A and B are shown apart, each in its own frame.
Chain A
Amino acid sequence: MFSGREVEWDASNRIWSWEKNIVYKGKCKDTGEDVAVKQIPYDSSKGKFEGIHPNLIREVTILRRLSPHQYIVQFHNTFCVNDNKRPLWNIVFEYLSCTLKQLIKQKLDPSNVKRLIYQILSGVAHCHSHSVIHRNLNSESILFEENSRRIKIAGFGLSRSCSIPFGVEEKFLKSYSPGVEAADISYQPPEFLLLSENYSLSSDMWSVGCIFAEMARGDVLFEANSCSVSQLSEIFSVLGTPTEADWAGVTSYIGWEEELEALDYNFTSKDLTLEALKAKVPALDVDGMDLLSQMLTYNPSERITAKKALDHAYFKNLDKTEL
Chain B
Amino acid sequence: EREFGFKKDEDDQSLRNANWFEFKDNRLEAIAWILRNGAAHGFQFRTAYLSITYFDLFLSKRSFKGDQTTWLRTLSVACLSLAAKMEEQRSPLLSEYKVEDCIIEWRWINQMELAVLATLEWRLDSITPFPFIDYFITILKLNQESPSDTKYNR
Question: Which residues of A does B touch, CB under 8 Å?
Answer: 1, 3-5, 48-52, 54, 57-58, 60-62, 64-65, 77-82, 161-167, 171-178
Give the chain A neighbours of B7 by CB distance below 8 A.
Answer: 1
Which of B10-18, B28-36, B89-97 is the contact stretch?
B89-97
**Contact-residue bracket for chain B:** 35 or more
Does B56 reach chain A (CB closer than 8 Å)? no
Does B60 reach chain A (CB closer than 8 Å)? no
Give the chain A neighbours of B127 by CB distance below 8 A.
Answer: 163-165
A63 to nearest B CB, angstroms? Answer: 9
A220 to nearest B CB, angstroms? Answer: 30
Give the chain B neighbours of A172 by CB distance below 8 A.
Answer: 146, 148
Give the chain A neighbours of B122 by CB distance below 8 A.
Answer: 57, 60-61, 64, 78
Cβ-defined contact, A52 with B117, below 8 A: yes
What are some 23 contacts across the A-B interface (CB < 8 A)?
Answer: A1-B6, A51-B85, A51-B109, A51-B110, A52-B85, A57-B82, A57-B85, A57-B124, A64-B6, A64-B122, A64-B123, A80-B1, A80-B2, A80-B3, A81-B1, A82-B1, A163-B131, A167-B135, A171-B147, A172-B146, A172-B148, A174-B148, A178-B89
A55 to nearest B CB, angstroms? Answer: 9
Known: A51-B81, A176-B88. A171 touches B5 (CB 8 A): no
| Alpha-carbon separation in the docked complex, A183 to B114 (Å) | 29
Give the chain B neighbours of A175 by CB distance below 8 A.
Answer: 89
A48 to nearest B CB, angstroms? Answer: 5
| Alpha-carbon separation in the docked complex, A52 to B79 (Å) | 12
| Alpha-carbon separation in the docked complex, A57 to B79 (Å) | 13
| Alpha-carbon separation in the docked complex, A58 to B117 (Å) | 11
Known: A77-B5, A80-B4. A52 touches B125 (CB 8 A): no
Does B86 reach chain A (CB closer than 8 Å)? yes
Cβ-defined contact, A163 with B128, below 8 A: yes
Cβ-defined contact, B125 with A61, below 8 A: yes
| Alpha-carbon separation in the docked complex, A57 to B1 (Å) | 19
Does B132 reach chain A (CB closer than 8 Å)? yes
| Alpha-carbon separation in the docked complex, A1 to B94 (Å) | 31
Give the chain A neighbours of B113 by CB distance below 8 A.
Answer: 51-52
Cβ-defined contact, B1 with A51, below 8 A: no
* Pick from A1, A50, A82: contact of B93, CB under 8 Å: A50
Give the chain B neighbours of A61 by CB distance below 8 A.
Answer: 86, 122-125
